[in-house]
Chain A
Amino acid sequence: MSTPQSIRRLGRYPLLPVVVLMAVGFQIATGSFVDHENLVGIASDSATLAMVAVPSALLVISGYLDLSVGSTWALGAVAAGWWASSHHGSLVGCALVAVAAGLAVGAVNGLLCCGLGLSPFIVTLGSLTAVRGLAQQLAPLPLTGFSTSFAWLGGSSTAGIPTPVILAVIVVLVAGFVLLATPVGRHIYAIGVSREAAYLSGVRVRTVPFVIFLLTGASAGLAGAIKASVLGAVQSGTSGLGFELSVLTAVLVGGVALSGGSGSLFGVVLGVAFLGILQNGLTLMGVPTFWQQVAQGVALMVAAGLAYLGPRLEALTAVRPPAVQPPTAPEGEQLSTATVMTSQP
């Protein structure tokens, strides 16, 4: 691959220079940003977000959406906390019940959205509320007094790398591998671009997104367990509250189109890193939490602006091979005429 092409490829990720500039800026402003300890802290804070953002991104690429991950997180945390505090639970048991709780939520979401074809927005908005209620009903009081083996899940590290980060890296690598190297990866994009065309091409248009719903639920449950392990306590009312918004922000800032069919995991990882660095850097600088929230929100809007400008800038700068002609879809033209006919003032 020639250098200009690889540079152009990086040009698809306008977030990359932003992340780099931010890191440089925070280092200059605080002098302690790139300390080893701080970087490990960012990574472990971002690990749970990455773990859930990756399957969520696959879901969005295939044209679906899961808003319930914050509540699933709480349910997973409650399940793991319950096991850790009352069954003298082994680490494996805790992780398994959290994953099972997440799978159950994912299965319900998936059945309703993929099986019955209901709107994923509505269905998962419903489960966002319902699952939170369920978690609070199951554990109205804070859960504490976890077994020591459970603390290992969030607190241990191997070769200086915290376990949650290792898990997140595994999730990213496996998902990236599936997306790029297997036929199913192409199917995920195809379903997001045109479900009908994918169906007529023999793609399993129900099974594939259903499985991603399962994975999203499982990862959200596990993420909840990890956070419970880190904190040593679970409060079902606030655990993972608003997490679904962070996940969606990371996915969308990372360049995945909400309309489905496009996006990359590298972009999503950048989105996660962006949010993590932003929060950490602003905290180091002593910026109040509310202003941090403002910054996150503005970043999402800027990302939406980039999504609008990106293709236009690319069209201006890209050197097109002369043989590729501009689109001449006749249907589109007909549509545009018809639309303009209706919108004449």
Chain B
Amino acid sequence: MALRVTALHKSFAGAHALRGVDLTIEPGEVHALLGHNGAGKSTLIKALGGAFAPDSGEIQVAERTYAGLTPRQSIAAGIAIIFQHLSLVDSLSVVDNIFLGQEVARAGVVSRRAQRERASALLERLGAHCRVDDRVGSLPMGQRQLVEIAKAMSRNPVVLILDEPTAALSAHEVATLEATVRRLKEQGLAICYVTHLLGEVERLADRMTVLRDGRVHSSTSLAGKTRADIIAAIAEPPTALAPRAPIHEADPPQLRLEGLTGMGVGPIDLEVRPGEIVGLFGLIGSGRTRTLELTYGRRRRGGRVIVGGRPVDRATPRAGLRAGLALVPGDRTGQGLFSSLSALDNALLPAQGTLSRFGLRRRGAELAAFERMSAELSVQPASPAAPARSFSGGNQQKILLGRWINGVLPTTVLMLDEPTQGVDVQARHEIYRVVRAIASERRTAVLFASTDPEEVVALADRCLVMREGRIVDELAGDAITEEALLDSIHHLPTSEKDVR
């Protein structure tokens, strides 16, 4: 046994992220960790990385038991985590990155030769092609990732955790990475492999553990398992949500994109009717986010964006907003939230102009609008003056949603990018409820992008599958199931790797 997690519990702000997770990984085993957004995968990984102490439970690494880890203890214990965001310094060479902070020194002087020898041995062990003197910033993504793995391996870890490692890689790079994973497995390393992609599970993994709502849903060996078995193990029964109001086919579309192009995306043609919820489903890099950004005016675009029959001529968020478009970006901390400003400012910033009279803010009207918004979205706590950063991820997301659906702005087309990323399960269901309700009651057209098939099933009336910046498939109504969605990206004429 290399890593054993026993009955791990963790809650944030009263929301349970982990409710008793058990996980055992043996040396020489590739263990796939699967589950939907909010199922607890990233919380588990962060607990192993020492980002926070678990509330209860044990973490056992190579026969030593810990009640909780600090980042230093985690590394010292032998846990190496490769996050999607690599911790490399672009301006430094490969060897300098590998030994950053743990330089090999003799009498206080860095021994460059010893470092270079050890670095090239590590790179060879991983099957990486880059040279030790290459500048990391000039390397392709796949090689950078191998450098990150080499850096982790230089500390002789017991277990290597890869968090969706292929998300940003090209087809060829995926093959290289998979070969590296097999090599390390043969060398006896325990590997935990987090992914959405079933092909990778089939090709690499010996066992898999599926998390659901912070618990282990199933944990089985993959020997003799078929694709259908895996899908059946992952798929969740659909959650009971209020029925949707009908969408009238005769209604003219509220949003129409005609030959939308830009940033390697398109041409894209699509229509969203009033009250309809349309999902853009695809892997990372398939162009979902860019489609939303181009529509909103965040980036320069070609083609036409027509809202409520009127073309939006200028490609700026201001022009989009005025036309009735709104976007909740996927990068909550970078593009959405003003972390040090109050919840009220966050929720009402674009609405303050509308609420003002003679150019003066009206505090009373703002507070009333905030109260309405926080009641409708059940924001907890409903304190307008608290800074946004003091809220949990789910409540931050509700505040961002409230920025557009507070009843003050004329939002007729709501766009959501990964609406429930980093959000706990309860908040996720509340967000689904609210989005469905505003589509049904206010006839708002909703267009959302997601990599999570369960989300598409829960939200979408119609789903457009994206690949390489284009829409390649369409599913509607009862035909939208997790099986069908996973099929649509896995069983395409070309191999799965070309999807990126």
Contact across chains for B338 and A193 when beta carbons are under 8 A apart: yes
Contact across chains for A262 and B340 when beta carbons are under 8 A apart: yes
Note all chain A residues with C-beta closer than 8 A to B298.
Answer: 199-200
CA distance A331 to B381 in the complex (A): 21
CA distance A332 to B380 in the complex (A): 21
Q: Which of A183, A193, A323, A344 contacts B383 (CB 8 A)?
A: A323
Interface of A: prevailing SS: helix
Q: Closest Cβ of chain A: how far from B391's Cβ, in Å?
A: 8
Contact across chains for A337 and B81 when beta carbons are under 8 A apart: yes
CA distance A181 to B353 in the complex (A): 11
Contact across chains for B46 and A204 when beta carbons are under 8 A apart: no
Chain A's closest residue to B422 (CB) is: A330
Among listed B246-254, B344-352, B431-439, B456-464, interface-contacting one: B344-352
A338 touches B (CB below 8 Å): yes
Among listed B49-57, B200-208, B270-278, interface-contacting one: B49-57
Interface size on B (CB < 8 Å)?
62
Given A262-B340, A324-B386, A328-B13, do A190 and B345 touch, yes or no (CB 8 Å)? yes
User: For window 386-416 of chain B, which residues contact chain A by CB distance below 8 Å?
Assistant: 386, 389-393, 403
CA distance A199 to B42 in the complex (A): 30
Note all chain A residues with C-beta closer than 8 A to B391.
Answer: 325
Among listed B176-184, B191-199, B329-337, interface-contacting one: B329-337
A 321-345 binary contact with B (CB < 8 Å = 1; else 0): 1011111111111111111111111
Contact across chains for A323 and B381 when beta carbons are under 8 A apart: yes
Contact across chains for B71 and A202 when beta carbons are under 8 A apart: no
User: For window 430-455 of chain B, which residues contact chain A by CB distance below 8 Å?
Assistant: none
A194 touches B (CB below 8 Å): yes
Contact across chains for B393 and A330 when beta carbons are under 8 A apart: yes
Given A186-B345, A201-B350, A333-B46, do A338 and B340 touch, yes or no (CB 8 Å)? no
A-B CB proximity, top 3 nearest: A323-B381, A340-B71, A325-B13
Instruction: Report which B residues bind A (CB closer than 8 A).
Output: 12-14, 42-43, 46, 49-52, 71-72, 74-75, 81, 83, 85, 87, 89, 100-102, 152, 155, 296, 298, 317-318, 321-322, 327, 329, 332-341, 345, 349-350, 352-353, 356, 359-361, 380-381, 383, 386, 389-393, 403, 422
Given contacts A202-B322, A343-B101, 12 further A-B contacts (CB under 8 A): A181-B361, A182-B359, A193-B338, A197-B338, A198-B349, A200-B335, A201-B317, A325-B390, A325-B392, A328-B12, A334-B85, A341-B49
A-B contact pairs, 30 of them (CB 8 A): A181-B360, A182-B360, A182-B361, A186-B361, A189-B341, A190-B338, A190-B341, A194-B338, A200-B298, A200-B317, A201-B317, A201-B349, A201-B350, A202-B318, A323-B380, A324-B386, A326-B390, A328-B392, A329-B333, A329-B389, A330-B43, A331-B333, A333-B52, A334-B42, A334-B85, A335-B85, A337-B46, A339-B87, A342-B100, A342-B101
